[in-house]
Amino acid sequence: MSKLKVGVIGVGSLGQHHARVYSEIKDVELVGVADSDPQRAGEIASKNKTRAFSDYRELLKQTQAVSVVVPTSLHYQVAKEVISAGNHLLLEKPITSKIAEAEELVALAEKKSVKLQVGHIERFNPAIRAASEHIHDPKFIECTRIAPFVSRGTDVPVVLDLMIHDIDIILSFVRSPLNNISAIGFNLVSEKEDIANARLEFANGCVANVTASRISIKKERKIRFFQRNAYINVDYMKPEVKIYKLKGEPKGVLDLAKLVDYRELKLDKVEPLRAELSAFVDCVTGNSVPLVTGLDGLMALKVAGDILKTIEKHKLQLS
């Protein structure tokens, strides 16, 4: 079996790791990396024993599949050329910054029979993968994703930069129409919102409270699921999953020590990015559906867009 020829477009702080992982995956040949900074492309190419390209269009002539890890504002332009060239595509999140562009990419990928996977990497976090077997019909979800300020990612609001990770996870577990959104957000350092909070109310009664900030003094990425007789606490960073489950029906005064069964799940040690890229390679070579499809990326973007509209409406009411 011949090796799958892959490339990476954009080898900045995240793209460099795509190159590293591809170079280590069996049955994959890292044909080259492309970046608008020729020196950077050369540096990452040298580290991974591959070729450097200053023009990604030249790289696309030699690849079958690529990761696109460029700023969000360039996702549509680059991804459209990748798909048009017949290359399978792993496109970093968010799929694009505009819904119409995302819809066009999804339709084009289907027309060209190209695999389109969106890089919502938390789907591959060992904590989420382990917890997924225990999450059933959650009624309340609480998410916190905060980090210190860095200039990378500030071309989009924090909703598209950070919160969209949790939006995708929530939508993957709550298979129900979204009825209502309440949201606030403020730009305090950059030109776009740096901190935001949203309350999502679903038709099945589930409510999700989501907070994202890129101006915190610490890093924290947690999501908590509350469902009938169980509470599941997921820490993406450690990673760690703690489950608190009622042993039976509570009667009278609760003695939690006797009624609650506590367990901490054992997690695998696979790096999330390695799991993500391996899954992408497998769906290309095995002609299967990606775990995170273009439609999944589009749905997360639509919810993020509705949150941003609600934030803007709230700002207008205050002015």
**Closest by Cα among 209, 92, 236 to 143:** 209
pLDDT band at 27 (very low <50, low <70, confident <90, very high): very high
* φ, ψ of residue 54 in degrees (nearest 5): -90, -20
Query: Which has more confidence, 150 or 174?
Result: 174
Kindly calculate the radius of gyration of the chain based on its CA atoms and give it in whole angstroms.
Answer: 21
Report the percentage of the chain scoring pLDDT > 90.
88
- Give residue-wise pLDDT tens across range 112-154: 999 999 999 999 999 999 999 999 999 999 999 999 998 776 7
* Domain residue limits, the chain: 4-121+272-293, 123-268+304-314
Homologous superfamily assigned to 4-121+272-293: NAD(P)-binding Rossmann-like Domain (3.40.50.720)
Burial class (CB in 10 A: 0-12, 13-18, 19+), 228: exposed
Q: Are 128 and 122 in contact (CB under 8 A)?
A: yes
β partners of residue 197: 184, 211
The predicted pLDDT at position 247 comes to 78
- What predicted TM-score, i.e. pTM, was given to this entire model? 0.93
- Give residue-wise pLDDT tens across range 90-100: 999 999 999 99
The predicted pLDDT at position 255 comes to 67
Query: At residue 49, does pLDDT exceed 80?
Result: yes
Helix (H), strand (E), coil (C) string for the chain: CCCEEEEEECCCCCHHHHHHHHHHCCCEEEEEEECCCHHHHHHHHHHCCCEEECCHHHHHCCCCEEEECCCHHHHHHHHHHHHHCCCEEEEECCCCCCHHHHHHHHHHHHHCCCCEEEECHHHHCHHHHHHHHHCCCCCEEEEEEECCCCCCCCCCCHHHHHHHHHHHHHHHHCCCCEEEEEEEEECCCCCCCCEEEEEEEECCCCEEEEEEECCCCCCEEEEEEEECCEEEEEECCCCEEEEEEECCCCCCCCCHHHHEEEEECCCCCCCHHHHHHHHHHHHHHCCCCCCCEHHHHHHHHHHHHHHHHHHHHHHHHHC
The class level of CATH for 123-268+304-314 reads alpha beta
The predicted pLDDT at position 152 comes to 74
| Same fold flag, 4-121+272-293 and 123-268+304-314 | no
The predicted pLDDT at position 71 comes to 93
Query: At residue 318, does pLDDT exceed 70?
Result: no
The predicted pLDDT at position 253 comes to 55
